[in-house]
Amino acid sequence: MGASNYIFSRDEFLDLIVYELYPRSFLDSNGDGIGDLNGIFEKLDYLQELGVNAVWLCPIYKSPNKDNGYDVADYREIAKEFGSFADFKRLRDGLHARGMKLIMDLVFNHTSSEHTWFQQAKTDRNNPYHDYYIWADTPPNDWKSCFGGSAWEYNEATKEYYLHSFAIEQPDLNWENPSVRKECQKIVDFWVQQGVDGFRCDVLDFISKDFKTGKMYAGPRLHEYIHELFGRRETEKLFTVGECQSSDKEMLLIAGKERKELSTVFQFDHINLIGLNKYLPHAFTLEEVKNVLVKWQNFTQENDLIYTLFTDNHDQPYFLSKTGYGDDYRYECATMLATMFYLLRGIPFLYQGQEYGAVNPVYSSIEDFRDVEAMRYYNEHKNTESSKQIVSALNQGGRDNARRPIAWTKNKANAHGFSQETPWIPLHSCAEEINLERDKNAEKSVWEFYRKLLALRKSSTVIRRGSFCDLTENRQGCFLYERALGEKKVIVICNFENRQTLLLPNALQQNTFRLILTNHADTLPFSKDFRPFEIAVYESL
Ligand code: GLC
Ligand code: CA
């Protein structure tokens, strides 16, 4: 029991339905206000009932939590607040016993400044670990940290600067150093031996910098490094998904079938529609989202690549909020988005909270925020903007939006079922209205819809393995597509916000298709009239 069953084929990757889980905010089992591994263990049946078959755990390693675990102090130890190594094994076995895969987060661009490597490295230029990090006598460029401020930080003991692409407490590892690469390989192997089935690789394109052209990421040795890390005989079959900002050319290299680099990457074009300043109100349309999806469906299909289907993650405000569903259509919009994304060709990734239609909270005080990036934003703007302005920017674009605890119950007591104690971060401001229990019992339940949708995907080889074809043509305000495998077809119709009469696709014949899924109780088969965010999914007989 417990041994890895990680060897599954590339085709089988398309059978995955992954749930991204933010352990800190999932369920607190011991009343310290922090979600933990035993909390997750308690909810394994819940996850199975939802219909996912893999869980990606955001980092659970020992960490001072400057960046909630994305600053790792020991890659082989479980953070105390999350539990013990025995708890980890119990969770792993619980997942495997239910036929679910375990995907761990690997943070290899940087360590925590409290990692022993850095503790040693910073003491002396001659320390054997010094070269594990990136140093300069004076900053060689004006690179900015992704969280704001210079990416170079002075270190008194060696009279040098070190590079940190993220927080000051997250020094970048020097991948030019073969010892660093070896250490990372050993960490991968360690977790594979612990029965882990795959990895999500944090900001992986940052591991190679381009000092010549001054680009902080996707440097000249990126592919060599990834190939060396995962292209080995022991690891080439692993499921790996990289967080990389990838163009189509990059994706061919990094996720190409024969390349032995990654299984797939997260492609962010639809997320990037929000524009360069995420703190401003978003102005993108669903039409634009559709265009991005079609482009990538076609590209990944033509090139035999695996695409990832996601709307949300722990760094993003809820996509549902970004699309402006209005007050009346939260259920309809949530279920339409789920249909639009998760019946496409690729691997669905759900983020916790989506399954009950969670939306962004609205807070009025900086005290309600925790994220390192938010704190940085606050400090940089507090002299020029009112706290009201700052907080409203954070409500719009901050990362805490999706990091608030799951509201399990409708009763306010015990932080809506999340914890016996005060949670590490306040719950969603709207938890009384939007919570799992209420949603489950509602006539229009997002949760029930997700269950049906995921069950459909699980039961349909056409949806999992079939080809994609856009059928939208010149219809406006909607997305129509077909999935096909041999003679079998599935046709998906997603209407956007406006009520309208749609010309049904020619292929959709009454005598050869049947309606298999809608998000309204009273949708008439083959009806052309679509209400706001109404969907209809048909299957060939
Ligand atoms: C990734 C993570 C994010 C983290 C950053 C630095 O973008 O998703 O949460 O802050 O990398 O590790
Ligand atoms: Ca706890």
**Domain parsing of the chain, residue ranges:** 10-105+178-360+435-447, 116-163, 467-540
How many angstroms separate the alpha carbon of residue 481 from the centre of ligand 2?
44
pLDDT value of position 5: 60
- Give ligand 1 pocket residues (Cβ under 6 A): 67, 70, 107, 166, 202-203, 243, 314-315
Which structure tokens are listed for 260? 């032995």
Distance 70 CA to ligand 1 centre (A): 6
Please state, as a whole number, how many other Cβ atoms lie within 10 Å of the Cβ of residue 11.
10
**Counting atoms of ligand 1 from 1, which one is nearest the CA of 373?**
10
**Stated pTM of the model:** 0.97
Q: Which of 67, 172, 228, 243 is catalytic?
A: 243
The tens digit of pLDDT for each residue in 212-247 reads 888 899 999 999 999 999 999 889 889 999 999 889
Domain boundaries 10-105+178-360+435-447, corresponding CATH code:
3.20.20.80
> What spacing in Å lies between the alpha carbon of 362 and ligand 2's midpoint?
25
Among 166, 241, 310, the mutation site with the greatest number of ligand 1 atoms within 8 A of its Cβ is 166
CATH class of 467-540: mainly beta
Share of the chain above pLDDT 90, in %: 93
Compute the average pLDDT of residues 167-176. Answer: 98
Dig out the tokens for 361 from the structure.
């909270």
For the ranges 254-268, 316-330, 527-541, the lowest mean pLDDT is seen at 316-330
CATH 3.90.400.10: does it fit domain 116-163? Answer: yes
Atom of ligand 1 nearest to the CA of 165: 6
What average pLDDT is seen over the chain? 96
pLDDT of residue 327 exceeding 90: no
**CA-to-CA distance for 331 and 440, rounded, in angstroms?**
12
Cα 58 to ligand 1 centre (Å): 10
Q: What is residue 2's predicted lDDT score, i.e. its pLDDT? A: 47
d(CA 342, CA 464): 10
To 5 degrees, how large is the angle CA 241–CA 311–CA 97? 55
- The ligand that comes nearest to the alpha carbon of residue 420 is 2
- pLDDT band of residue 340 (cuts 50, 70, 90) is very high
List pLDDT tens digits, range 248-283. Answer: 999 999 999 999 999 999 999 999 999 989 999 887
Q: Give backbone dihedrals phi and psi of 139, rounded to 5 degrees, phi first.
A: -55, 120
Task: Note the pLDDT of residue 1.
Answer: 41
Q: Which residues, including other chains, have CB under 8 Å from residue 419's CB and lie 6 or more apart?
A: 27, 28, 31, 32, 33, 34, 35, 405
The answer to whether 243 is a known catalytic residue is: yes
- Whether pLDDT at 376 is above 70: yes
Best mutation site among 66, 70, 205 for ligand 1 pocket (most ligand atoms within 8 Å of CB): 70
Q: At 444, is the pLDDT very low, low, confident or very high (cuts 50, 70, 90)? A: very high
Residue with tokens 């890659």: 75
Would you say the C-alpha torsion 530, 536, 540, 541 has a positive or negative sign? negative
Q: What mean pLDDT do residues 318-323 have?
A: 92
| Over residues 338-355, mean pLDDT | 98
Query: Would residue 432 be called left, alpha or beta, if left means φ above 0 and alpha means ψ between -120 and 50 degrees?
Result: alpha
Q: Which one of the listed residues 153, 202, 332, 539 is annotated catalytic?
A: 202
Ligand nearest to the CA of 23: 2
pLDDT of residue 4: 54
- Amino acid 212: pLDDT: 86
Query: For the residues 479-504, what does the mean pLDDT come to?
Result: 97
pLDDT of residue 237: 87
Measured in Å, residue 150 CA sits from the centre of ligand 1 at: 17
In this prediction, residue 8 carries a pLDDT of: 79
4 vs 483, higher pLDDT: 483
Which tens digit of pLDDT belongs to each residue from 56-115?
Answer: 999 999 999 999 999 999 999 999 999 999 999 999 999 999 999 999 999 999 999 999
Which residues are CB-neighbours of 92 under 8 A, at least 6 positions away?
Answer: 2, 102, 194, 195, 196
Mean pLDDT over residues 445-472, rounded?
Answer: 98
Phi, psi at 193, each rounded to 5°: -65, -25
Specify whether the CB–CB gap between 333 and 325 falls below 8 A: yes
Give the per-residue pLDDT at 310. 98
Q: What is the pLDDT of residues 390-442, one digit of tens each?
A: 999 999 999 999 999 999 999 999 999 999 999 999 999 999 999 999 999 99
For ligand 1, atom 7: residue with the closest CA: 203
Q: Which two tokens mark 330?
A: 């939260």
Indicate the Cα dihedral angle 38, 44, 46, 52, nearest 10°: 130
Q: What is the pLDDT of residues 10-50, one digit of tens each?
A: 889 999 999 999 999 999 999 999 999 999 999 999 999 99
Asked if 380 is an active-site residue, the reply is no
| Residue 35 Cα to ligand 2 middle (Å) | 5
Measured from the Cα of 109, ligand 1's closest atom is 12
Nearest residue CA, atom 2 of ligand 1? 202
Ligand 1 pocket test: pick from 67, 204, 265, 310 the residue with the most ligand atoms within 8 Å of its Cβ.
67
Q: 155: which DSSP letter?
A: E
Each residue's pLDDT tens digit, 108-139: 999 999 999 999 999 999 999 999 999 999 99
Best CA proximity match to 492, nearest among 454, 532, 539: 539
